[in-house]
Amino acid sequence: MAMNPRPHVLVVAGSDSSGGAGVTRDVETIAALGLSSCVAVTAVTVQTHQSVNWIEHMPPDLVVAQMRAALAANSVKAIKIGMLGTHSAITKAVAVIQDHPDIPVVLDPVLASSSGGALIMEDAVVALRDHLMPLCRIVTPNLPELAVLTASAIAVDEASACRQGEELSRSVSTAVLVKGGHAPGRDAVDLLVQPNRTPLRFMAPRLSGEMRGTGCMLSSAIAASLALGASLEESVRAAKRHVFKAIAGSK
């Protein structure tokens, strides 16, 4: 069978039985932005909107086989990676990505669910930072994830968040979008930090409504825009606007 020429985003992520995050949220976001998805499921989870009750990590060879099949079958223009919960899955996914250096990769470094349940094995965090992140076009941590990745306390203000973002960006030599959703204040400010560039601020009014899966949505929207040929700055701006509208519409 010939390759499907329609632009696709390859989603590499876990499932969420509640439908609030993970692959479900990724695919619906990419579809809303006019693109098709193909998937590699990395884990099956049993979740509600309040808790994570069970996680079954897929065998790393199965994850990689899904990735390679999706890449062979479709014209993949971007890759979005979410939950990659084990050291072995990360190292084997790295090998696939190295075979496709021209495809931009967006990594949402999922370390825990919104309800606080851990979604990654402890020994996998180092592999995520040291081996996968340097291959990515952008990494999108929230403030608690950024603190773990920089071995720091959670940033208490924009200046400390920016410093941590710059530290991570330097160490992995790629762009970092520091998400400000967990920060206090009237406005939600995300910071795009890139090596040897001035940080860029993306600001929107903070909404009172809550919505699970906004990190999945943001990173998938960035990947979709990159797949369509937009610049990184344009992609971040469009993705933040998409998430803002989604949260506003859910209230």
- pLDDT for the residue numbered 115: 46
Q: Beta strands of the chain (E only): which ranges?
A: 4-13, 36-41, 43-47, 52-57, 74-81, 105-107, 138-139, 175-178, 187-193, 200-205
Percent over 90 (pLDDT), the chain: 66
Task: Encode pLDDT of 20-31 as tens digits.
Answer: 888 999 999 999
User: What pTM was computed for the model?
Assistant: 0.92
How high does pLDDT run on average in the chain? 89
How far from 38 is each of 63, 71, 168, CA to CA, in Å? 13, 9, 30
Task: Encode pLDDT of 172-213 as tens digits.
Answer: 999 999 998 666 667 788 999 999 899 999 987 777 666 677
Helix, strand or coil, per DSSP, at residue 122: coil
Task: Encode pLDDT of 61-101 as tens digits.
Answer: 999 999 999 999 999 999 999 988 789 999 999 999 999 99
- pLDDT for the residue numbered 241: 92
Task: Encode pLDDT of 5-59 as tens digits.
Answer: 899 999 999 998 888 888 999 999 999 999 999 999 999 988 887 788 888 999 9
How far is 246 from 240, CA to CA, in rounded Å? 10
- pLDDT for the residue numbered 250: 65
Higher-scoring residue by pLDDT: 156, 116: 156
